[in-house]
Structure formats: C-alpha cells, structure tokens
Structure 1
Amino acid sequence: MARPKPASRIPDWFNLDAYDRLSGLDANGWLTVVSGLRQLLDETPEFYRIDDEDAGVSLGELEATFISFQEDEGMGWADWKKQDYAVDKDAFNFGSVQSLSNWTVAHMGATLEHIRNGPELLAGIRTAVELESKREFKEARKALKAMESLDEFANTPFFVSLRDSREASGSGVGLPRRRTLSVNMRAPDEILRKDFDRWLQAMRALQGHQAAKKSFTDTDFKRWVRNAYVPLLVLNKWKELTGARITYGDLCEAAFPPMRRVEVDDVRKTFLPNAKAWASLETIDALAAQAAREDEKAEDFSY
C-alpha cells in the first residue's frame, strides 16, 4: 500500500515508494542512479522553468522528465562512464592506469603546436629524429644541442605548460583528467610504489583535481538511502524550477518514511547540503571505477 502524501506543496507525481529500489544497490546500480540524477539536476532544459514570463509553459514535459527518473527509465550515462575504467590487458590498459596510446601521443603533439615555444621544440625534435633514423647520430646530437635555449621549456611537465597556456588565453578549459608520467622500470617495485604515492599526492594537491577519498562500501550506500539523498535532491530541484513553496518541513514529511523522525534542522543543515555535495562528478567517477571492477570480476567468474 502506497504511503500517504503529506498535506503540503509536494507535487502529486512524487512517490516515495519508487525510491525503495535504492536499497541493496551495488556500485553499478548507484552509478546509474547518480549519473541520472546529475542529468536531472544539471541538464533539465531551462525552458521548463516556470515564472511570470513563461506563464504559458505546461508542466507536463517537466513532470514527465521527473517521473522518468523516479521510475528508473534509464536516464544517465553509466555504461559510457564505465568505459573510462575498462580493462584491456592486451593494450596494457588497467582502467585508471594505462599505457600511452599512439592517439594520445599524437594529440599531445598536436596540442603542443599551440603552446608558446612548442612549435620550435617540435621542429627541432623532428630534425633530430630524422637524422637519427638515417643513422647520422653526430648531426642529430648537434641538432639537439642547438635547442639548448629551449631546455627550461623542454623539461617542463606537459600538463604545466598546458595549464599555463590555457590560463593565459582565458579559455577556461579544464585540464584533462589523465596525467602522463615516466616510469623507470629498473627501479625496485617498492621504490616505484613509494614514488608513485608521492607523485599522486602532488597531483591531488593541485586545484581542480578532486576525487572521492576512497571506494564506497555497503555502509555508504545504506547511509545514502537512510539520509534520503535522492528524493531530497529531486524535490529540491522541482522547487527550484517551478517555484513551488516546498518547505523544509514538507521535505521532512515527504522524503522520509513515516517511522523515521527527522527534524527540519537535520534537513536544512545536514542532509540536503550533504546530498548536494554527494551528487558530484567525483562520486560518479568513483562509482564508475568500482562498477567497472564489478563487471571484471563477474566476467572472470563466468569463465
């Protein structure tokens, strides 16, 4: 039997029972939910917004969008996101850690053409490589020596030059998520792991490179359900788009089961702010990585 609706401004289409499906989801399930939720929160067309100027806009399409998400009709981009973390051992691709492909190297080279000092460096390298291919090693060394004035730029990490170039141009384009590094395979494994940890710490310290602190567990999943992150965000987005006068008291009644006593301050100060921070790309990436590992384990088990 459906739960009774609170006597409030909660829309008729909202059905808390529909969110029972969240209990017991694994990383794959949560990836679908959170990616769909982000789509609902970020990509809902602005022409759905209801105000005095758009008084003639029907709520029908907007309601259909919310109902589609609520009824789990496949919103989001979970499968696409998991591809970022798929494993292809033949290509030495292990999800978040990959060997550079020729495509990536070519893209970096083409990008370098648009960075100050990049074209000069590439031209000099092309000359040296061409000479080396002809086994004219003495001339190749001379070509490399002729580029000594570019030493500082040549030894600058690629992502630093890319970052500085984009900042100078005011493009606002973020840095790519992946970072390249050189690994000296002659070093012992223990040293490599320690050095990688130091490199990772330095990368994480850079502004704009946030990630989930750890993989999520069943405890995390249960907390997301108990604290009603999804229904709270759905109703809050509806309120933002339509101007519905939904109060925090309404949210307490609508987003939580009758046997769960929740105070207004709990929603206002804790649950809703935490839910907004949780529904992030960092959460989606962490879930995508876990979901890809779940798929890999299931595939191995099937054999």
Structure 2
Amino acid sequence: MARPKPASRIPDWFNLDAYSHLSELDANGWLRVVSGLRMLLDEIPDLYRTGDDDSDLDLEELEEVFVGFQEDEGRGWADWKKQEYVVDEAVFDFGSVQSLSNWTVAHMGATLDHIENGPELLVGMRTAVELETKKEFKAARKAFQSIDYLEEFSSTPFFVSLRDSRQNSGYGVGLPRRRALSVNMRAPDEILRKDFDRWLRAMRALQGHQAAKKSFTDTDFKRWVRNAYVPLLVLTKWKELTGARITYGDLCEAAFPPMRRVEVDDVRKTFLPNAKAWASLETIDALAAQAAREDEKSENSGG
C-alpha cells in the first residue's frame, strides 16, 4: 500500500511513481533529465508572474510546467549540448579536443581588436605578414621590430588578456570555456602527453573554472536515484516559488519510496545539498560528452 502524502503540504500534482524510470537511464537519458531540470530550476519565465512581487504567480500555469517536467523531464538543451562533443574527423574535431577553425581564429582576432594593446599588435602583424607574402623580408623584419614594445602583451595567453579586459571593464565574465594551445608536433608523443597533463592541471587550478572530475558510471546513476536528487529538487523549487510549507519531514515522506527509511538530517545535511551541487552545468557538460561517445560507439557498432 502506498504511503499517504503528508497533510496536503506536498502538491497534489506530485507523483513519485513518475520518477521510477530514472533507474533505467544511461548518460543520454540523464543528460535529458538534468538539462530539463536546470531549465525548471533556473529558467522559470516572467510570464508565470501576475505582479511585481515574487509571490505573485499564476499557480495554474506554473503547475503545468512542473507536471510537464515530471511527465517527460522536458528536453532542455540536451541535443544541442551534446552536439558540442560530436566527433568530426574530417575537420580534426574530436569533441572536447579540436583544431582551431578559421571562424574561431577570426573571432579571436576580432575580439583582440577590442582589448587594450590588441589593435596595435594586429596592425603591426598585418603589415609584417603582408610584407612577408611579397617576399620583402627585410622590410618585414623591421615591421616585426616596430612592435617589439608589445612583447610582454604579445606573449600573454589570449584567454588571460580576455579575462583581464572583461574584468577591468566591469563585466566580471569568467574565463572562456575553450582554450587554444600550440602543440609542437616534432616532440615525441610521450613528451606531448606529459606536457599536456601539466598544462591541463594548470588550467584546472585556475579560479572559477570547474568541471566534473570524471565520466559517470552506473554506480553514480544509481546513487542519484537512491538519494532522490530529482524529486527533492522539484519539490524544493516548488516550495521556493510558491511559499508552500513543505518541511524536511515532508520531503522524507514524499521523495522516497515507502520501504526506504530516511531521516530528516539525511535530507537536510546530505541529500539536498548534494543534489543542488549536482544539478550543474558541469554535470550537463560531462553527461553531454559521455552521451556523444555513447552515440558514436552505437553508430560504429551498427546499432
């Protein structure tokens, strides 16, 4: 017999059975769930508000949004996100690692034009390269020498100049997600791998640049289900938006199956904080990369 919902504090639309299929999902399925969940948690649009106050909500329409997620988790931006990690060997794009396209180089150059010292460097470089193409090498050397005063700036990593420029202009934008690096293909593979590992550690250590530690396994998926991450976050978001008086005890009763005994402190100190940290862009990116590899493996095996 199903355990009754406690004293109507849990909304009538909530149905724990709707989340039972989560135990069957792979990375593709979880990508759909988490990206849809992020939209539910962060993208509630103003059209559900009926006034200026945060508490002025059209509860009927808001309920439809929550029920829609509960019934199929929504698509979020799952397919679009996964596309970032699709391999295209024809253009030397291997998902998270890819060669710079002309578009990317052009975008970097156009961006550099708006960074202090960037315009001077670009003008000097264009002049020198134009002279080189005309085989006027003596004049080209002089053109390069004319921008020697920019040596410190020209040797600064592009992402550092971009970060500092945006911070100084008050935007406070974090580090760019993608980084360009130069690889000396004359070096032995073993040296390249070691040097890349050192570069990667340095990039990961930079403040504000986070990523999932590893690919997820079935053990991770099972833990997310066992600890009720999705229903906990759905009910907590409903409480936040509507002011419903849902207690931690209510969450213990509603978000877990009847045979699972869960204490209030488990939810308050562990499960809910972990769920909030889990429903992140880092998790979505890791799942997107993993899902893209699942698709590639399926295609290669003829599945």
Q: TM-score range by the shorter chain?
A: over 0.9
Alpha carbons 1:6, 1:253 under 8 Å: kept: yes
AA aligned opposite 2:179: R
The match for 1:255 is: 255
AA aligned opposite 1:250: D
Distance of 2:93 and 2:138 partners within structure 1: 37
The match for 1:69 is: 69
Distance of 1:132 and 1:296 partners within structure 2: 44
AA aligned opposite 1:121: L
- After superposition, the Cα gap between the structure-2 partners of 1:232 and 1:54, relative to the gap in structure 1 and judged at 3 Å, is closer
Q: CA offset at residue 6 of structure 1?
A: 3.3
Deviates more, 1:65-74 or 1:185-194: 65-74
Alpha carbons 1:32, 1:78 under 8 Å: kept: yes
Q: CA offset at residue 57 of structure 1?
A: 4.3
The match for 1:240 is: 240
- After superposition, the Cα gap between the structure-2 partners of 1:253 and 1:242, relative to the gap in structure 1 and judged at 3 Å, is same
SS in 2 for 1:23: helix
- After superposition, the Cα gap between the structure-2 partners of 1:43 and 1:135, relative to the gap in structure 1 and judged at 3 Å, is same
Distance of 1:42 and 1:233 partners within structure 2: 12
Deviations 1:73-114 (A, max 9, x none): 633010000011110000000000000000000000000001
- After superposition, the Cα gap between the structure-2 partners of 1:75 and 1:4, relative to the gap in structure 1 and judged at 3 Å, is farther
AA aligned opposite 1:143: A
AA aligned opposite 2:161: S
The match for 2:208 is: 208
Counting only pairs closer than 5 Å after superposition, residues 43-58 of structure 1 correspond to structure 2 as 43-46=43-46, 48=48, 57-58=57-58
SS in 2 for 1:203: helix
Deviations 1:263-291 (A, max 9, x none): 00000000000000000000000000000
Distance of 1:53 and 1:131 partners within structure 2: 64
The match for 2:123 is: 123
Distance of 1:273 and 1:55 partners within structure 2: 24
SS in 2 for 1:208: coil
Runs of 4+ that moved beyond 3 A: 1-4, 46-58
SS in 2 for 1:29: helix
- After superposition, the Cα gap between the structure-2 partners of 1:49 and 1:276, relative to the gap in structure 1 and judged at 3 Å, is farther
Q: CA offset at residue 4 of structure 1?
A: 3.9
Alpha carbons 2:127, 2:143 under 8 Å: kept: yes
The match for 1:162 is: 162
The match for 1:284 is: 284
Normalised to the residue count of structure 1, the TM-score between the two structures is: 0.96
Deviates more, 1:167-176 or 1:288-297: 167-176
AA aligned opposite 1:43: E
AA aligned opposite 1:105: V
Q: CA offset at residue 151 of structure 1?
A: 0.6
AA aligned opposite 1:215: S
Distance of 1:91 and 1:116 partners within structure 2: 33
Distance of 2:86 and 2:176 partners within structure 1: 18
- After superposition, the Cα gap between the structure-2 partners of 1:46 and 1:245, relative to the gap in structure 1 and judged at 3 Å, is farther
Distance of 1:205 and 1:54 partners within structure 2: 38
Q: CA offset at residue 47 of structure 1?
A: 5.4
Distance of 2:55 and 2:62 partners within structure 1: 14
**Unaligned segments of structure 2, at least 5 residues:** none
Normalised to the residue count of structure 2, the TM-score between the two structures is: 0.96
Alpha carbons 1:212, 1:282 under 8 Å: kept: yes
AA aligned opposite 2:269: K
Deviates more, 1:211-220 or 1:2-11: 2-11
AA aligned opposite 2:225: V
Alpha carbons 2:28, 2:288 under 8 Å: kept: yes
